[in-house]
Structures are given as structure tokens and as C-alpha cells.
Amino acid sequence: MRRRSKIPEIYVTLLLILMYLPILVVVVYSFNDSWEGFTFSWYQKLLHNRNIITAFFNSLELAALSSLSASVLGTVGAVGIAGRHFRGRGALENLSLIPIMVPEIILGMAYLAFFSFLRLPFGMLTLVLAHTTFCVPYIFINVKARLAGLDPAIGEAARDLGASAPRAFFDITLPLIAPSILSGALLAFAMSMDDVVISFFATGAQTSTLPLQIYSMLKMGVTPEINALCTLMLGAVFLIVAVGRLVSARRQRRA
């Protein structure tokens, strides 16, 4: 019998080590005090660091507002384009994807010039507008792909049975595309939380996001408080994923 090669298993193992070893180091450092022993002191200092806490909640607010706004705009755009055939449709679809194809440094400079031209006060408002713009394509792509796989006869049947166009959309189409909207919104939320370049150009002196706060701390040296924050955020992500898996497993059992 021909022996199976172990190269794929070795490759996957090395890849997982390279991916998760840095994360493990961050978690270990968050509980370490110069290798003198186990400690929670960095978590205590984190809870008393107003700059980091304020920046963290600013990032949460910004990501929530921008992903919600982008979900509405991206869904409306995808539904509008999917239901019609007109000249220039392909060009319009390509234009809607420009924010994720253009380098962030170019987008950041464009937002800076545009907001300055409009004389908008730089702060949370300009951040939400900028983040909403580059988050829209993530929802647009997901919803458009889902609509392409739906049978248009379903909506037509609802119309034939007397449902109005809004009623058919909210009762039939929206529940079918809801998972794609949610996945796109989660991706947009993560991209907004992670953004540095566009936020740097679109923010004001009184408003700072978590990535910008960490970036500014690099000049003076990052303390293990950041490791503690990363560990808490990782724990929250793992908890959300675990709860989601449990909920989906229960739904499959009921089905």
C-alpha cells in the first residue's frame, strides 16, 4: 500500500503556528510583569486608562454607525441594481466597488479635501461619513451575490397573490437576504474597527479611535495594557463565535 505523504499536515501545522503564535505571545504578555510572575496589574491599569477606554468606545460607536448606514445603502443599491437591466449597469456596479479597490491613502486624502471643501467640522461626523463610504461595497457584494441566486418567481408569486411591492420585499426578499446583509455588516464592522489610514485623515483633534490611539502610543512605546486590551477583545470574539455556533447547532437539531 502506498504511504500517504505527511507534507500537507506539516504545512498546515506550520501555518497555524505562524498564525496563532503571535496571538499567544500577546495573551501571555498581558498576564506577565517583566517575567517576574503572573499578574492582573495590566488589566487594572487598562481599566483606569481613560484615553484607551474612550478611544475604544469611540471605535465601537463609529463601527456600529458606519456598518448600519452601509447596510442600508448597500442593500438598497444591490436590490435596485439586481431588479433592473439597463445600459451602463456594469459600469455602475464597478463604480460602487471603487472604495475597496483604491488605496486607503488616496481615499483618506480625498476625504480630507472633500470635507475641508464643505467646511465640515472634523470629528465623529466626518469619520462616520468616510467609514460608511468604504464599508458600502462589502454589503453590496454580499447582497448582490445572494440576490443572483434567488428565484425571481418567488417575489412574482407574492405579487400575483396581491402583495404590494414593499410588502413582497419585506415579507419575502428581505428574510432571504438577511444572512448576507448580516455577514456583510459584520465584515464592515471589523474593517471599521481596524482602520487607521482613513481615520487619520478624517478625524479631528478631539476625537480618537482605538487604532489611532495605539498608533500614537508607538512613539512613546506600547505598554502591556494594549496586550490586555487585545486579550479581552479576543475573548469577546471567541465568545461571540461560540454562542453563534451553539445557536446554529440548536437550530439544526430543531430542523
**Minimum mean pLDDT range among 99-103, 111-115, 150-154, 229-233:** 150-154
Q: What percent of the chain has pLDDT over 90?
A: 27
Q: How far apart are CA 22 and CA 32, in angstroms?
A: 15
Q: How confident is the model at residue 125 (pLDDT cuts 50, 70, 90)?
A: very high
> Tens digit of pLDDT for each residue in 46-99?
888 888 889 999 999 999 999 999 999 999 988 888 767 777 777 777 787 888
Report the pLDDT value the prediction gives residue 207, as an integer from 0 to 100: 86
Residue with cell 489610514: 197
C-alpha dihedral (219, 224, 228, 231), degrees to nearest 10? 80
Closest of 238, 61, 65, 219 to residue 53, by C-alpha: 61
- For the chain, the average pLDDT equals 85
Q: How confident is the model at residue 1 (pLDDT cuts 50, 70, 90)?
A: low
C-alpha grid cell for residue 78?
Answer: 444591490
C-alpha grid cell for residue 133?
Answer: 463610504
Neighbouring residues of 201: CB distance < 8 A, sequence distance ≥ 6: 108, 109, 111, 112, 130
DSSP track, 106-152: HHHHHHHHHHHHHTPPSSHHHHHHHHHHHHHHHHHHHHHHHHHTS-H
> Tens digit of pLDDT for each residue in 112-122?
999 999 998 99
The CA-atom distances, in angstroms, between 30 and each of 37, 52, 197, 208 are 11, 15, 27, 23
Q: How confident is the model at residue 185 (pLDDT cuts 50, 70, 90)?
A: very high
Q: How far apart are CA 4 and CA 10, in angstroms?
A: 13
Burial class (CB in 10 A: 0-12, 13-18, 19+), 68: middle
C-alpha grid cell for residue 200?
Answer: 487619520
Q: How confident is the model at residue 3 (pLDDT cuts 50, 70, 90)?
A: low
Report the pLDDT value the prediction gives residue 39, as an integer from 0 to 100: 78
Ramachandran angles phi, psi of 38, nearest 5°: -75, 135
- Output the pTM of the full model: 0.83
Q: What is the mean pLDDT of residues 241-248?
A: 85
C-alpha grid cell for residue 105?
Answer: 491613502
Q: What is the mean pLDDT of residues 10-34?
A: 85
For residue 249, the one-letter residue type is: A
Burial class (CB in 10 A: 0-12, 13-18, 19+), 128: buried
Q: What is the mean pLDDT of residues 180-204?
A: 91
3-class secondary structure, 25: helix
